[in-house]
Amino acid sequence: LNALDYLHSDGIVHRDLKPDNILVQCREPANFCIKIADFRLAKDDSFLKTRCGTQLYAAPEIWQSRPYTTKVDIWLLGVIAFKYVYHLLKVKG
């Protein structure tokens, strides 16, 4: 969440968070590092209305062609967390 908070504090919206773009490096059993990748669709949040990203994870306002903000990234994280909690995603090892 620190990385996403940093992006949002600079007015940047990732717009394509999905499991493939979240990199997890395990250093020890309880010590890991999470990084965000693939910034091709990232953009400043001045005026966003473009349909983009991965439809399976995208917030409703993106696919309804409504203006959106950094909050769409929070939606994306929520969808990913839900899928992990309910074992709908397989963890790559």
Angle at 92 between CA 91 and CA 93, to 5 degrees: 115
Q: What is the DSSP letter of 90?
A: P
**Ordered structural domains, the chain, with CATH:** 2-85 (1.10.510.10)
The pLDDT of residue 11 is: 94
Does the annotation count 20 as an active-site position?
no
pLDDT in tens, 1-20: 889 999 999 999 999 999 99
Catalytic residue among 16, 20, 44, 73: 16
pLDDT in tens, 15-66: 999 999 999 888 887 888 889 999 999 999 888 989 999 988 999 999 998 9
The model carries a pTM of 0.84
